[in-house]
Each structure stands twice: as C-alpha cells, then as structure tokens.
Amino acid sequence: MSQYIANTRIQQEDMLKEMGLRSMEDLFVDIPEEVRLRENLNLPEPLSEPELVSFMRRLARKNYNGNEFSCFLGAGAYDHFIPSVVDHLISRQEFYTAYTPYQPEISQGTLRSIFEYQTMICELTGMDVANASMYDGASALGEAALMACAAVKRNKVLVARTVHPESREVINTYCKFKGIEVVEFGFRDGQIDLEDLESRMSSDTAAVIVQNPNFFGVIELLKEAGEIAHRHKALLIASVDPISLALLKPPGEAGADIVVGEGQSLGNPLNFGGPYLGFFAVEKKFMRKIPGRIVGETVDNLGRRGYVLTLQTREQHIRREKATSNICSNQALCALAATIYLTLLGKEGLKEAAELSLQKAHYTYDRLIKTGKFSPVFNAPFFKEFVVKSRTPVSALNKKLFESKIIGGYDLAKSYQEIPGGWLVAVTEKPTKEEIDILVGKAGEI
C-alpha cells in the first residue's frame, strides 16, 4: 500500500465488515460492469521516493536553467530577484495546504493576507478596488474585456498591437465565443497609433485595451488612449507591469477604468510559464461587476476586526449562469508570494528594483548600439525592455550567446513580421555590469 494511504488492509477489511460488506467490490456495485475497468491502467511502474528523486533530478537537469545563465529574455515573464523569505513563508503548510477561505474563523491568515494584497494592488495601480487574483495577466485581460462589454452594454473591443501577442490571443479566445468583436489597431514608432485608434472607434466600442510598458518595453500613450476611449463613452483597460509602477504614473491617474497585469515579477519564479498571477483592479463604480473573489473587512460577534469573502453574489456558486465570471480557484499562493515580496521590498525597495532595472536596461541599450551591430528601432522612452535591430539573424545570435551562458532576448519576428531582425531584450536588476558587458561583447563579435 502507498505511503499516502493511511489505512492498513486489515483495517480496511474491518471497516468493510462493520458495514456488512464483503469486499471492496461491494462499494462499486453502482458502476455498471460494461464501464468498469477490469485491467490495470497502462502507467509506469511506481517509483519509491529515492527512485523518484533521482528520476526527477535527471529530468530537471535536461533543462538549462536561469541560475546557471544570465537571463536577458523577458517578453512577459521576468527574471527579477526573489528574496529567500518569500519561498520560506509560502512553504508554510497553513498557507499552501489550505483551501479557499470558506470558513473565515479558521482562515484569517489567508483572508487577511488577501486584504493586504488588495490594498497593495490598489496603491500600485491607483484604483479603488482589487480582487484576490486571476489566473494570469492574459486571462485577466480576457475577463476585463468581457466585464467592459457587460458594463457598458456594447460588443466590441479595440486592442493595441503593442499588447503582448499571447495576451491578444487569449483576449480573442475569451471574446469570440461570446460574440464580441475584437479589432486590433496599429502602432507608430513603438507607441499606439492614436489616429488609427480614433478611426476605429465607434458607438459599439466597449473598451480600448493598451499595455504599459507595452510589449516592446515602450512607455505607452495611456492618457491619450483614455481620452479617446472616454470621448466615445468606452472604457480604457490598461495592462501594466507592477514593478514599473514604482516609477510610472498609476494608470488610475492616467484615466484607466480597469487595470490588470501580470504579477509574476512580484516574487514568483519563471516556472516555465506558470503558475503566475493576474491582478485585476477597477474604479469603485465597477465593484459589483468584477470577476473573482474579494475579501472585505468586518467585525465578529464580539466586535473584533476580521475578514471574510464578500460581494459573493457576483460569483458562480451563487449566481450560476448569471455570474460575472466562472472563476473559482484563482492563484492565491502566487498572490501571497506577491504580497510578501511587496512587503519585503516595500516602498523604497520596489523603487530601487525598478530604478536598477531602468538604469541597467538603458546601459545595455546604449552599449549595444555602440557596437555598430545593432540599430535603434523606435525613438520612444522605455523602461526595462527594449527593441534593437540585429544585423545577424536573431536565432543565430541567441545560439551564440547561449554558448557563453547567456539566455538572449526574444525574436520579435515571431510575432511582428514588420520588424525583421527585431531583438527584444529585457534587463532586470539581476545582471551585473560584468554580465551585461559580456553580453554586449559577445553580441558585438558576431
């Protein structure tokens, strides 16, 4: 018997006997014989713990990981530094083995930390209300599009082509099955093309979706997009990088009605793409229209402060087919990691991490241009990620860098054929000047 099954065979037999049953078979009498599986599943032979450990270590070694390489690859998933405290605390069983906090009396830890998380997201984004998290930044955008259409009772969203290509794909999937039209608008010199946006606005446009900094790392024309959207009584949905918000104007101030974003940068490892978390924040007037869980403050029978899941009538377990979304489980533990990360870095640390990324990214950019092997693509301000045009094909360039223990930037031609040779390079606070100089040196040699 497996170490994960508590009862011994003798105990199991005793229990059966006590119920007046003869064998395990008697427990499955309701399953018609024709659908019973009478042979073993075709699965690998079970591994003991030592066998499992060595098998998995071998498998892990087949992945070249960022701890052995300098990582200049971003494009939506960033290699920011994670303090040791984060994993230490989220590894406490009381956090990670608990379910959704349905019984508040024994879930105050989860509930209070979500309340703190909601506060931090509101502070960063400049919005009034945040939920407890979504699956990731892209699905948060999909849900934001649906919410906007429901809120303003219109059926079309305009999405900037400077939004992450995968996010645009997810928005498309979420919208097309609901009969919502998704129209993309273009960019000019790395930022959204305001004229193109204006020309595509119509009386059925529910929302304009913009990412800031955008997929190219460029600071977007958020305010201008908001003005156009609002003039047509549509909403502005902004997808933002939370680290950038230590420096950049909160999207709420720039006129965004719904602010979402990928929260991975906040204390969550790259994890080959997941689990991450999406944050989701709105103005107060949309409080009852947002998807997902929300925690609120209240008092107990003795007047003591406490926290509960609230505004639950929006949700699927009550409103069923009329719910604002079907989301149930979200990414609570990833949101907890973000909360702990933001606590540790705090007001000053987050700004330092953002400024270090900004400075190092600009240093890298300037040095790359100086090699003469790369040319500027856009003349627009950027934060921690930028595009340069490479003379050598990007795949060959990255291959060469890999030999020097460097994971190079994203090959932009995969998603933007109009930018051939485009190399999207991300620089966090992690790489040292020495590592950057090696990158520049190797990239310049080719």
Partner 1 sequence: MKDNALIFEISKPGRKAYSLPDCDVPKQNVEDLIPGEYLRDTAPVLPEVSELDAVRHFTRLSQLNHGVDTGFYPLGSCTMKYNPKVNEALSRLDGFTQIHPYQDETTVQGALKLMYDMDKMLSEITGMERVTLQPAAGAHGEMTGQMIIKAYHEHRGETQRTKMVVPDAAHGTNPASAVMAGFDTIEVKSDDRGGVDIEALKSVMSNEIAGLMLTNPNTLGLFDENIKEIAKIVHQAGGILYYDGANANAILGISRPGDMGFDVVHLNLHKTFSAPHGGGGPGSGPVGVKKELVPFLPKPLVEFKEGSYYLDDDRPLSIGKVKSFYGNFNVVVKAYTYILSMGADGLRQVSEGAVLNANYIAHKLKDKYLLPFDRVCMHECVFSCQKQKNKGVSTLDIAKRLLDFGFHPPTIYFPLIVHEALMVEPTESESKESLDEFIKAMRQIDQEVDTDPQQVLEAPHNTSVGRLDETLAARKPVLRWMPKE
Partner 2 sequence: MEIEKGLKYTKEHEWIRVEGNKAYIGITDYAQRHLGDIVFVELPEVDDEFNAGDTLGTVESVKAVSDVYTQISGQVVEINEELLDNPGMMNKEPYESWLACIEFTDTSELDQLMDAEDYKKFCTEED
Which residues inside 249-288 make contact with partner 2, applying CB under 8 A?
A: 288
- Smaller CB distance to partner 1: residue 201 or 207? 207
* CA pair distance 215, 292, nearest whole angstrom: 26
Residue 44 binding target from partner 2, partner 1, none, CB below 5 to 8 Å by type: partner 1
User: Residue 150 binds which one of partner 1, partner 2, none, with CB within 5 to 8 A depending on kind?
Assistant: none
Q: Copy the structure tokens of residue 288.
A: 């009852």
| From candidates 54, 313, 359, 375, binder to partner 2 by CB under 8 A | 313
3-state secondary structure of 306: strand
Interacting span for partner 2 (CB under 8 A) from 148-156, 174-182, 310-318, 416-424: 310-318
* Residue 403: contacted member of partner 2, partner 1, none (CB under 5 to 8 Å, by partner type): none
Which residue stretch of 92-100, 182-190, 313-321, 380-388 sits at the interface with partner 2 (rule: CB under 8 A)? Answer: 313-321
Positions in 316-375 near partner 2 (CB under 8 A): 318-319, 322
Neighbour tally for 390: CB within 10 Å: 25
CB atoms under 10 Å from CB of 62, counted, come to: 6
Applying CB under 8 A, among 12, 108, 312, 392 the residue interacting with partner 2 is 312
Furthest C-alpha separation in the chain? 84
Give the up-direction half-sphere exposure of residue 206: CA atoms within 13 A in the CB hemisphere.
Answer: 19
Give 89 or 194: the residue with its C-beta nearer to partner 1: 89
Cβ closer to partner 2: 119 or 313? 313
The answer to whether 341 and 350 have CB atoms below 8 angstroms apart is: no
Residue 331 interacts with which of partner 1, partner 2, none, CB < 5 to 8 Å by class: partner 1
* Cβ atoms of 95 and 333 closer than 8 Å: yes
Residue whose token pair is 């925690």: 295
Q: Which of residues 107-136 bind partner 2 (CB under 8 A)?
A: none
CA–CA dist 244, 7 (Å, integer): 53
Helix H or strand E encompassing 317:
helix 316-319
Site string for partner 2, 286-305 (x = CB under 8 A): --x-----------------
Dist. CA 206–CA 258, nearest whole Å: 12
- Residues forming the site for partner 2 (CB under 8 A): 288, 312-313, 318-319, 322
